[in-house]
Amino acid sequence: MTTNFLTKDELLKNNRSLWNSWTKINAKSTFYDLEGFKSNKNSLKNIEIKEMGSVHGKTLLHLQCHFGLDTLSWANKGAKVTGVDFSDEGIKLAKELSDQLNIPAHFICSDIFELPMLLEQKFDIVYTSYGVLTWLHNLNTWGKTIAHFLKPGGTFYIIEFHPFINMLNSEWTEFSEPYFYKGNSICSVESGSYADTNEKFIHSAYEWPHSMSEIICSLRQAGLLIEYLNEFPYSSFNCFPNLVEYGPDQYVLKDKQDSLPLMFSIKATFIPELLKI
Ligand SMILES: C[S@@+](CC[C@H](N)C(=O)[O-])C[C@H]1O[C@@H](n2cnc3c(N)ncnc32)[C@H](O)[C@@H]1O
């Protein structure tokens, strides 16, 4: 269902409340396996570890870091990390984990679009991953925010679910939704969390599906030179209906094997001169 009845602030407030509740559910879930993380200190998948390369000694800004597991994982690989999320519950837990595990990290509670008013530092890397873009109403501002925080020549990396999957119905059995939303939000009623569907919890969610061209153009317009766009026929997580295991950390749609795009990654370099072309 598309809706534009609420103001952007009201939509943001609703989504922050949802993510505060989801943080509490997710932190207890086997999906996030917090106890396992406390011993192995890694939540990253091989795909982003390989594509990002060495982060040792680099400053890294993690946008939409949830409760910080990936942020702390990059810190454990030698990066000097800053994680940002608008969920105060997420940031509170991220700070607790940083202290408890003795992994140095800086965490900031902020809407990413407000961040330039709170943080002055420039970074070698801006990183964001898995389930971030549909929560953002404006990708042009997103691109500018990434560029704002990168040093000239700095790297942006995203690994994310493919916009293709936004066209599937909630059971992932047929195409029922448009690909193009033209900036409108969609409202859904979330039951439980993607990390624990059995949890008794109901909350509304407002999301903004974005097409691949919106994603690419918002980065290019902000002065980012795309090094590559990769598409993957699997999800790293078993968090959608009707998925079956295909390989380690690879889940594909049942009966479709590896014929559909479920994730993509982009690596790009900030070249300020591109803004003049
Ligand atoms: C699916 S999670 C990302 C999880 C991530 N892959 C990780 O490292 O765990 C999406 C995150 O986006 C955050 N978020 C949504 N809208 C935001 C906004 N406007 N500003 C900052 N964070 C936001 C939510 O609080 C949530 O933690």
CATH fold of 2-276: Rossmann fold (3.40.50)
Among 33, 64, 210, which is best to mutate for testing ligand 1, by the most ligand atoms less than 8 A from CB? Answer: 64
Grouping H, G, I as helix, E, B as strand and the rest as coil, residue 236 is: coil
pLDDT at 216: 98
Q: Is 70 in the pocket of ligand 1 (CB under 6 A)?
A: yes
Is there a contact between 193 and 22 (Cβ–Cβ < 8 Å)? yes
pLDDT at 233: 96
Grouping H, G, I as helix, E, B as strand and the rest as coil, residue 168 is: strand
Helix H, strand E, coil C: the string for 176-212 is CCCCCCCCCEEEEEEECECCECCCCCEEEEEECCCCH
Ligand 1 midpoint to CA 245 (Å): 26
Q: Is 77 in the pocket of ligand 1 (CB under 6 A)?
A: no
CA pair distance 208, 200, nearest whole angstrom: 25
Q: Is 87 in the pocket of ligand 1 (CB under 6 A)?
A: yes
Residue with tokens 């396996």: 33
For each successive 10 residues of the chain (277 residues), what is the average pLDDT? 75 97 97 97 98 98 98 98 98 98 98 98 99 97 98 98 95 93 88 92 96 98 98 96 94 89 98 92
Per DSSP, the chain holds a count of helices (H) and strands (E) of 7, 12
Domain ranges of the chain: 2-276
Residue nearest to atom 19 of ligand 1 (CA): 111
Q: Is 130 in the pocket of ligand 1 (CB under 6 A)?
A: yes
* Contacts of residue 141, Cβ cutoff 8 Å, sequence gap at least 6: 113
Is there a contact between 161 and 263 (Cβ–Cβ < 8 Å)? yes
Ligand 1 midpoint to CA 255 (Å): 31
Ligand 1 midpoint to CA 64 (Å): 4
Give pLDDT tens digits for 152-172: 999 999 999 999 999 999 899
